[in-house]
Amino acid sequence: MRAGCAKLERHFFGNYGVMMQKVRLGRTNLMVTRTAFGVLPLQRTDADEAIRILRRAYDAGINFFDTARGYTDSEEKIGRALSDVRESIIIATKNSGSNRSEVIQHLETSLKHLRADYVDILQLHNPRALPNPEDPESAYAGLIEARDKGMARFIGITSHSLERAQAAVQSGLYDTLQYPLCYLSSPEDLAVVDLCAQADVGLIAMKPLSGGLITNARAAFAFFRQYENAVPIWGIQKMEELEEFLKLDADPPVLDSEMRAVIERDRRELGDRFCRACGYCLPCPADIPIPMAARMGLLVKRMPYQQFLSDEWREKMFRIRDCRDCGSCREKCPYGLNPPALLREMLVEYERFYEEHKSNVG
C-alpha cells in the first residue's frame, strides 16, 4: 500500500557511495531525507560525542533533524554541530507555549541554542486541545507570528491523540503533523497516512521503534518504505545506531513474506495494551519512572536484560509499591491506559523474571 504520490529524489552522499533518497514533505515542498534523525535521545549523550554523531549524520547525507525546546540540551548540540551548514539542513523543533507570547519566547530561546535565525518547521508540542485559530493571543497565533516574522518557514503540530491529529489535518491550518506510527500501530492510526496524503500535509512519524519495544530495525525500516509520504524520525543516541540506519538506507530491506512474519509475531506478542513511553505521565509523585517501569515485563524479554536486574533498577521498580493511585498518570495518558494497574502487573512480572535470571547477573 502506498499513500499519495510523493515526489522522490535521489542524491549521492557519504562514504557508502549510494544515493540517499529524499521525499517531498507535503505542501511545505521541503525535500527531506527519508532517513531522518530524531534528536531527543542525544540529550542523554555526552556533548562531544553527540556533536560527532550529528556531524557524521550530516556528512552521510541526512538533512532532516527533529528536536524540541523541551529536550534539554538537544537544540544546543545541533547548534554546535551544524550551525556552519545551516542552509544545507532542515530543522524541525517543537514548542510548548500555551499562548502567542510564550510560543514566541520559547522560539527565541530555541533559535539562540540552535545558533540560527529561523527553523524550517515550528510545531506545537502535543497540546491537550487544538488552539483557537481565531484567538489573537492563542498558541496558533504565535505560530502565525513566527512565520510572518521569518522565524519559522512552516508550521505544524505534534499529537499522541488520534482524534486531535485527524482534526488538525482536516482543519487545513497546519503544514505538518507529527504522530506516533510504527508496525504495531492500529489500522485506525495507520489511516492517518492516507489522510495526510489527501490533505497534502507533511507526515512525520515519531516513535518508529515504539520507544524501544521494536528491536528489529530492518523490519521497521522495510515497513516504512511502503509509505512514500511518511518520514520516520529514528531516535539515535549512539554512533553504532546511526551506522545501522545508514546501512539500511544504503540497501533498504524489502517488505517480503519473511519481514511480514516478523511483524506479525511482534503484533501477536505485544498486542495494543502497552506503554509507548511518551513520558506525558511524568512527573510521578512517587518518583516512579513510569515510561520504563510500565514496559519492564516486555523490555526484559526483548532487550539485553542484565542492565534491568541491577540494584539501581530493582530499587526503581520497588517504588511501584509506593504508588498511591493518585490518578495523575491515568489522566495524562494519551492512549487511555491505566498506568497504576499496568505498573503493578509489570512489578509482578519483573520479580518473577528476576528470580529466574538473577544467577546470570555478575
Whole-angstrom distance, CA of residue 234 vs CA of residue 282: 23
Handedness of CA 217, 220, 226, 228 (dihedral sign): negative
In this prediction, residue 302 carries a pLDDT of: 81
Cα–Cα nearest to 242, from 87, 39, 24: 39
Whether 277 maps to a domain, the answer reads no
Q: Quote the pLDDT of residue 3.
A: 53
- Which domain, by its residues, includes 256? 8-265
Residue 4, all three cell numbers: 499519495
**Same domain, yes or no: 101 and 245:** yes
Decide: residue 353, CB within 10 A, 0-12 exposed, 13-18 middle, 19+ buried: middle
User: What is the total residue count of the chain?
Assistant: 362
Asked whether residue 230 is assigned to any structural domain, the reply reads: yes
Residue 62 shares a structural domain with residue 140: yes
pLDDT, tens digit only, all 362 positions of the chain: 445 445 655 544 444 444 689 999 999 999 999 999 999 999 989 999 999 999 999 999 999 999 999 999 999 999 999 999 999 999 999 999 999 999 999 999 999 999 999 999 999 999 989 999 999 999 999 999 999 999 999 999 999 999 999 999 999 999 999 999 999 999 999 999 999 999 999 999 999 999 888 989 999 999 999 999 999 999 999 999 999 999 999 999 999 999 999 999 999 888 777 888 888 899 999 999 999 999 998 888 887 899 999 999 999 999 999 999 999 999 988 888 899 999 999 999 999 999 999 888 76
Question: Based on C-alpha coordinates, what's the Rg of the chain?
Answer: 20
Q: Is 274 part of a structural domain of the chain?
A: no
Nearest to 173 by CA among 205, 138, 207, 206: 138
- Same domain flag for 47 and 151: yes
Q: Is residue 279 situated within a structural domain?
A: no
Claim to verify: residue 204 and residue 323 sit in the same structural domain: no
Angle made by CA atoms 141, 157, 33, in degrees to the nearest 5: 125
Please calculate the CA angle 217-275-95 and round it to the nearest 5 degrees. 85
Q: What is the model's pLDDT at position 279?
A: 82
For residue 229, the domain's CATH number is 3.20.20.100
Please tell me whether residues 239 and 315 are part of one structural domain.
Answer: no
* Same domain for 152 and 38: yes
- Looking at residue 5, what is its pLDDT? 47
The pTM of this model reads 0.87
